[in-house]
Amino acid sequence: MHHRADDKVVLKDSVSEPTIALVGNPNVGKSVIFSLLTGKYVTVSNYPGTTVEITKGTSSFDGGGHRVIDTPGANSLTPRSEDEKVTRDLLLSQNSTTIIQVADSKNLRRSLILTTQIAEMGIPMVLALNMADEAKSAGIHIDTKKLSERIGTPVVETIATEKRGINKLIASLAAAAASTLRVEQHPRLKVAREKIAGILPETPVSREAVASMILAGDHGLDKWLKTNCSEAEIGAIRAVVENAQTHFREPLAYVIGKRRLDYIDSLVADVVRIERKENTTWAKRVGDLSQHPIWGIPVLLFVLYLIYLFVGKFAAGTCVDFIESIVFGEYINPAVIWLVSKLPVPLIQDMLVGKFGLVTMGLTYAIAIVLPIVGFFFLAFGILEDTGYLPRLTIMANRIFKVMGMNGKAVLPMVLGLGCDTMATLTTRILDTKKERIIATFLLALAIPCSAQMGVILGMLGKIAMSAYMIFIVVIVLQMLVVGFLAGKLVPGQTSDFIIEIPPFRLPKISNVLLKTLARVEWFLKEAVPLFLLGTFVLFVADKIGILGALVKVAEPVVVKFLTLPPEAAVAFVMGFLRRDYGAAGLYRLQEAGLLDATQSIVSLVVITLFIPCIANFFVIIKEQGLRKAVAMTALIFPLAVLTGGIVNLILRAAHYKG
Amino acid sequence: MSVGSGSTSESKEVNEVAWNNRRRWRGGKPSEEISKPVEFHYRKKDVDELLELIYMVKESGGEITVEELKKKNEDVSDVDELLEEMASAGLVTTRNGVVSFSENGTREAVKLIRAHRLAERLLTDVLLIARDGDVESQACEMEHILNPEIVDSICTILGHPSSCPHGKEIPDGPCCKDKKRTAAPAVLSLDQLQTGESGRVLYVETTNHSRLDKLTTFGMLPGTVIRVHQRQPSLVVLVGETQLAIDHEIAQNVHVVKIG
């Protein structure tokens, strides 16, 4: 969950350094190969959309002679979604690039659709037939030699997760060549393409390729056209496209795509031999079970229960108890207090170990309460990600998400939000329409607790009863449905079609899961811990100069009267402005101190869960949606959170809920 | 061994079963009485063409004026005369140079348009006539000679398509309104296949560009074999080794012929 830096350059050469770009359909293993080529770990999961931004690295195999770029998966270079556009724009912006097209061997046909498009661009490439083992066990045999002859580029079989074939792949880079694969298009389209290519200015890839994209109705190029062509030239291009369209009853993109696919079908028939095997492996059975209309639900509940046991009971209970009360309570904190007592200035003593002490509060919260919970959650989540279970949830939830103005694909960012809302907000790019991205972003900020927060929540609720857990889930889900339903009605725009690839169910690879968990824990330590310390410091200062007291006073009518919580809870909510898990940790402490009963725990957790997004999330929302929308969302979320908490409070009190 | 009467009746039964099997797309029902063949003569064809033209102008939202009809029908010299004839037959009314359909006229025009567009579907997607010109000329001939019952049969075989290959709407016939759909079509939409069944795509019926794009990139185009893996809670299909979850609504646009 740590991607950074994307280039927004379109159609201009930026670097002269030789570059290797990994391109391919979603979920074919580009990121695994990236890691192998650069020695740099990037998040790898078994579902499409893990990589939504460009990741850059330096080649490790030749001592840093190449820049290596990992790209988001693209089904077509005539992009329809944001993440596909990133890939296309990158290819158009580089001059000295070699492409490694990573293909799923089981799916040669679909991969070759992309190959024809790269071939047209005239960029030198190598084709990596990844997951060769899965193809073999499915009875698919590809004649790589023949395929290489037919497309005119090196073809290498790889099994990236086992590091097989990578050296061959690296060696083949020297022989990389622009593919000779050319699909004969309809004569009228050929003429139209030549005409457009004649009008176009200098392009970094072949003019024909850009002309083809324009013919296929790629509006992502409009902006580039506007800056690089005169009004008259654009008009002329448009006229050619319109004229070409009059000769066909289907849209040109379809005509072009169909011709490509017909050609590919004949090519595939020539190089692929399939022996039909009816082999139902256990993985296939489990996969089918988890997406079954009836069995899918118990499977989901079972998975949730396992997470509850692992994170809620074991991590948040046993581990936190041990680290907090034994490691910190008996060793670290007393030692620090003893050390600090030697310091001459009482104010500094107070700052380090007082009520809002950097060590006794900031560090204890971060390391003793949140870290073990987050760590174990990341582990559980990593296992789930690698199995391919998450995209199966899209099948189960498509209908519900339709009601909320999105489609099943939006399940992915939502579930990823359980890891980190900030990252998940970036993942909303895999959604096709603006409306879907806005609703998903909003619901993430509103209702989805991130891993750290959820861990604390699981821990607190686990101390009450299973029923508390159920009440909490029902409240949050209901809130999400109601708000989602309203948003679906109110946000203008369209819901896109639901077509998503469901990857095969796989046994998670322990090494990948561990690596991923470690990378995420490292990210947490780097990003969250300093914020915890900063937050504690701010609280300390605010407390000293009296602002905190004033704030708590202001909040008191709401916190104490409306939500029936102890006044100290207001402090936790203030902490929630910084990071929601920080606020949750404050509530955890209150509950430990016996200041929150069952109802109060649930109400305070509902409020902190629905509470405004943390600072990092807020900035990402600004980046993706703009400042105005980010502020508007926050302004909506705050009263919603308090109101929902109040309603839950009233209902639970009326029902005399005791846990 | 002689053939007894018992076995004759048995073979009759077998015959009946075979016939029913062959008629399965009509729900095993024998064909209905076909109304008397339409008498076909030159003048009627001209009237038909004009009815269709008026329908299409109306469809595209334009105002139907005598002027406009003349302009679009240059090869027929006597448009005025034809219109008069049609008016006296109770098909159209003309007021201040603006032509409008009577109820009868609408019915006749719908019949013709329906026959024409269904013929186009049949010729392009099932009989795979490649040249546009051939499709057009054949469909133009067929529309005048097909009886409504036969048009309904074609409609049923094709799975009640809602648009012609050019994307224009095909008016519903009585067979489309039969909600129970007693007759089983030979061409189904993908979402009509049951779990475990496979179909070969014959044509894709949508004017939604981004939907077509997606179907193209996932390789769901004419000629592709698609297998239905599960139907609930979302439709899941297999294209080659790829498992795809798709909306039922999209699957309704993909028309297939069942292959097992």
Q: Provide the sign of the torsion angle of the four alpha carbons A288, A294, A296, A298, taken in this order.
A: negative
Contact B216 A257 (CB under 8 A): yes
- With helix as H, strand as E and coil as C, how does A38-66 read? HCCCCCCCCCCCCCCCCEEEECCCCCCCC
Find the CB nearest A497 among B222, B232, B247.
B247
Q: What pLDDT, on the 0 to 100 scale, is given for residue A355? A: 82
Strand segments (E) across A181-304? 272-274
A254–B213 CB contact, under 8 Å: yes
Choosing from B177, B199, B219, the residue where a domain stops is B177
- What was the pLDDT predicted at A2? 40
Residue A5 lies in a domain: no
Which of residues 55 through 84 in chain B touch A, CB cutoff 8 A? none
Q: Do the domain assignments include residue A61?
A: yes
CA-based nearest residue to A375, from A510, A530, A519: A519
* CA-angle at A606, arms to A356 and A522, nearest 5°: 55
CB contact under 8 A, B214 and A399: no
Q: Is B76 part of any domain?
A: yes
Give the closest of A258, A395, A504 to B234, CB-based. Answer: A395
CA distance A472 to chain B (A): 26
- Per-residue confidence (pLDDT) for residue A451, from 0 to 100: 80
Say yes or no: A233 and A166 in one domain: no
Residues in chain A within 8 Å Cβ distance of B165: 249
Residues of B in contact with A503 (CB under 8 A): 243
Predicted complex ipTM: 0.82
Residues A547 and A571: beta-carbon distance below 8 Å: no
In tens, the pLDDT along B55-64 reads 888 888 877 7
Q: What is the average pLDDT across A483-500?
A: 90
Q: What CATH code is carried by the domain that includes residue B51? A: 1.10.10
Tell me what pLDDT residue A179 has: 93
Residue B29 within a domain: no
Residues A24 and A116 in one domain: yes
Please report the DSSP string for B188-257 in residue order. Answer: EEGGGSPTT-EEEEEEE----HHHHHHHHHTT-STT-EEEEEE-SSSEEEEETTEEEEE-HHHHTTEEEE
A435-455 pLDDT tens trace: 999 999 999 999 998 887 887
The residue from A211, A240, A274 where one domain ends is: A274
Say yes or no: A626 and A587 in one domain.
yes
3-state secondary structure of B169: strand
Q: Which of residues 492-521 of A touch B (CB under 8 A)?
A: 496-504
Whether B21 is covered by a domain: the verdict is: no
Q: Which pLDDT band holds residue B26 (cuts at 50, 70, 90)?
A: low
B contacts of A285 (beta carbons < 8 Å): none
Looking at chain A, which residue has its C-alpha nearest residue B209? A251
Q: Do A370 and A250 share a structural domain?
A: no
pLDDT tens digit string along A383-401? 988 898 988 999 988 989 9
Number of domains in chain A: 3
CA distance A387 to A45: 8
Interchain CB contact of B248 with A (< 8 Å) = no
Closest CB from A78, A138, A399 relative to B241: A138
In this model, does residue B156 exceed pLDDT 70?
yes
Give the residue from A415, A387, A395 showing the smallest Cα distance to A499: A395
Report the alpha-carbon distance of residue A623 to residue A602 in Å, rounded.
33
Q: Which pLDDT band, with edges at 50, 70 and 90, does B4 fall under?
A: very low
Tens digit of each residue's pLDDT (9 = 90 or more) over B112-140: 999 999 999 888 888 888 787 888 888 88
Average pLDDT over chain A reads 87
pLDDT at A34 over 90: yes
Any domain includes B15: no
pLDDT for B9 beyond 60: no
State both tokens at A240: 């050619």
Q: Which CATH number fits the domain that encloses residue A206? A: 1.10.287.1770
pLDDT tier for residue A137 given thresholds of 50, 70 and 90: confident
pLDDT tens digits for range A226-282? 888 888 989 999 999 999 988 887 788 888 988 898 899 999 999 999 887 666 788
Please indicate, yes or no, whether residues A318 and A433 belong to a single structural domain of this protein.
yes
Q: CA-CA distance, A73 to A85, in Å (whole number)? A: 10
Nearest to A588 by CA among A477, A466, A465, A455: A455
Q: What is the distance, to the nearest Å, from the Cα of residue A405 to the centroid of all Cα atoms in its chain? A: 20
User: Does B196 touch chain A if contact means CB atoms closer than 8 Å?
Assistant: no
Please tell me which of the candidates B216, B232, B246 has its beta carbon nearest to residue A253: B216
Looking at the fold, whether B200 and B153 belong to one and the same domain comes out as no
Please say whether the beta carbons of A172 and A94 come within 8 A. Answer: no
Inter-chain touch B217–A75, beta carbons under 8 Å: yes
Are A221 and A302 in a shared domain? no
Mark whether B82 and B130 lie in a shared domain.
no
Give me the mean pLDDT over the A272-293 stretch. 84
CB A23 within 8 A of CB A118: yes
Give me the pLDDT at residue B10, please: 59
Whether B130 contacts chain A with CB within 8 A: no
Which chain A positions have a beta carbon within 8 Å of B250's beta carbon? 497-499
Tell me if chain B has a CB within 8 Å of the CB of A76. yes
Residue A288, domain member (yes or no): no
A4: confidence class by pLDDT, cuts 50, 70, 90:
very low
Q: Inter-chain contact B166–A249, Cβ cutoff 8 Å?
A: yes
The 10s digit of each residue's pLDDT in A560-612 is: 989 999 988 988 888 887 788 888 888 988 988 889 999 999 999 999 999 88
Tokens of B254: 């993909």
Same domain? For A505 and A547 the reply is: yes
Residue A39 falls inside a structural domain: yes
Last residue of a domain, one of A274, A305, A326: A274
DSSP state of A130: E
Which tokens is A190 given?
A: 């050929």
> Ramachandran region of residue A163, left (φ > 0), alpha (ψ -120 to 50) or beta?
left
Distance from CA of A26 to the nearest CA of B (A): 11
How far are the Cα atoms of A198, A213, A222, B117 from residue A219, in angstroms, in the given order? 19, 9, 5, 32
Percent helix, strand and coil across chain B, each rounded to 5? 50, 15, 35
How many C-beta atoms lie closer than 10 Å to residue A1's C-beta?
A: 22
Please tell me if residue A257 touches chain B, with a CB cutoff of 8 Å: yes
Q: pLDDT of A74-89, one tens digit each?
A: 888 887 777 788 888 8
Q: Do B241 and A395 touch (CB under 8 A)?
A: no
For the segment A452-473, the average pLDDT, to the nearest whole number, is 84
Same domain, B218 and B202: yes
Write the CATH number for B237: 2.30.30.90
* Last residue of one domain, picked from the residues B83, B101, B119: B101
Residue A99: which domain range? 19-178
Say which residue the tokens 């990378």 belong to: A519
Q: Between B166, B215, B245, which is nearest A394 by CB?
A: B245
Q: How far apart are the first and last CA of chain A?
A: 36
Chain A environment of B216 (Cβ under 8 Å): 76, 113, 253-254, 257-258, 261
Contact B234 A496 (CB under 8 A): no
A499 and B215 within 8 Å at the Cβ level: the answer is yes
The Cα A35–Cα A43 span in angstroms is 9
The separation between CA A267 and the C-alpha centre of its own chain, rounded to angstroms, equals 35
Q: Does residue A539 lie within any of the structural domains?
A: yes
Comparing CB atoms, the residue among A251, A499, A504 nearest residue B246 is A499
Question: What number of other Cβ atoms are within 10 A of residue A646's Cβ?
Answer: 18
Q: Does A273 touch chain B (CB under 8 A)?
A: no
pLDDT value of residue A539: 86
Q: Is residue B59 part of a domain?
A: yes
pLDDT in tens, A8-17: 333 444 456 7
In chain A, % of residues over pLDDT 70: 97
The band of B41, judged by pLDDT with boundaries at 50, 70 and 90, is low
Q: Rg for chain A (alpha carbons), in Å?
A: 28
pLDDT of residue A175: 93
| Non-local CB neighbours of B229 within 8 Å, separated by 6+ positions | B195, B236, B237, B238, B243
Q: Which of A173-177, A221-225, A483-487, B216-220 has the lowest mean pLDDT?
A: A221-225
Specify the pLDDT at position B179: 59
In a domain, B90, yes or no: yes
Whether A328 and A210 share a structural domain: no
Q: Is A138 on the interface with B (CB under 8 A)?
A: yes
Taking CA–CA distances from A113, the nearest residue in chain B reads B217
pLDDT at position B183, please? 66
* Cβ pair B240:A107 closer than 8 A: yes
Which is more confidently placed, B232 or A144?
A144
Regarding whether B118 and B172 lie in a shared domain, the answer is: yes
Q: Could you say which of A146, A178, A210 is where a domain stops?
A: A178
Residues B95 and B144 in one domain: no
Q: Which residues of chain A have a CB within 8 Å of the CB of B195?
A: none
Nearest to B244 among A109, A261, A502 (CB): A502
Average confidence score pLDDT of chain B: 81
pLDDT given at position A12 = 43
- CB contact under 8 Å between B241 and A140, yes or no, is yes
Domain assignment present for residue A12? The answer is no
Neighbours of A16 (CB within 10 A): 8
- Return phi, psi of residue A156, to 5°: -125, 130
Q: Are residues B96 and B110 in the same domain?
A: no
What is the reported pLDDT for B6?
A: 47
A464 CB neighbour count, 10 Å cutoff:
21
Give the range of the structural domain holding residue B201, as residue numbers without chain letter: 187-258
Distance from CA of A267 to the nearest CA of B (A): 14
B212 vs A254: CB contact, 8 Å cut-off? yes
Is A293's CB within 8 Å of B232's CB? yes
B241 to A432: CB separation less than 8 angstroms, yes or no: no
Which CATH number is A158's domain given?
3.40.50.300
Chain B residues near residue A258 by CB distance under 8 angstroms: 216, 221-222
Whether residues A151 and A200 share a domain: the answer is: no
Question: CA angle, corner A427, sides to A424 and A429, nearest 5?
Answer: 140
Residue A1: inside a domain, yes or no?
no
Distance from CA of A243 to the nearest CA of B (A): 16
- Least-confidence region, from A175-189, A399-413, B1-15, B36-50: B1-15
Query: Is residue B182 in a domain?
Result: no
| CA distances (Å), origin A269, targets A133, A140, A261, A312, B200 | 20, 12, 12, 53, 17
Q: Is B218 on the interface with A (CB under 8 A)?
A: yes
Chosen domain end from B154, B177, B200? B177
Å between B45 CA and nearest CA of chain A: 26
Together in a domain, A54 and A92? yes
B233 touching A (Cβ < 8 Å) = yes
**Looking at the complex, does the CB of residue A183 fall below 8 Å from at least one CB of chain B?**
no
Q: List, for residues A607-632, the tens digit of each pLDDT value.
A: 999 988 888 888 889 988 999 999 99
Counting the structural domains of chain B, the total is: 3
- Is the CB of residue B97 less than 8 Å away from at least one CB of chain A? no
A498 and A631 in a single domain? The answer is yes
Best mutation target, B128, B190, B213, to test chain A (most A CBs within 10 A): B213
Cβ-based neighbours of B177, under 8 Å, separated by 6 or more:
none
Q: Which residues of A touch B224 (CB under 8 A)?
A: 261
Inside any domain, residue B5: no
Q: Residue A166 — pLDDT band, cuts 50, 70, 90? A: very high
Report the C-alpha gap between B185 and B168 in whole angstroms.
Answer: 21
Classify residue A469: in a domain, yes or no: yes
For residue A14, give the nearest of A87, A93, A91 by alpha carbon.
A93
Instruction: Report pLDDT for A141.
Output: 93
Which residue, among A28, A502, A506, would best test binding to B if mutated, counting the most B CBs under 10 Å from its CB? A502
Q: Identify whether residues A76 and A199 lie together within a single domain.
A: no
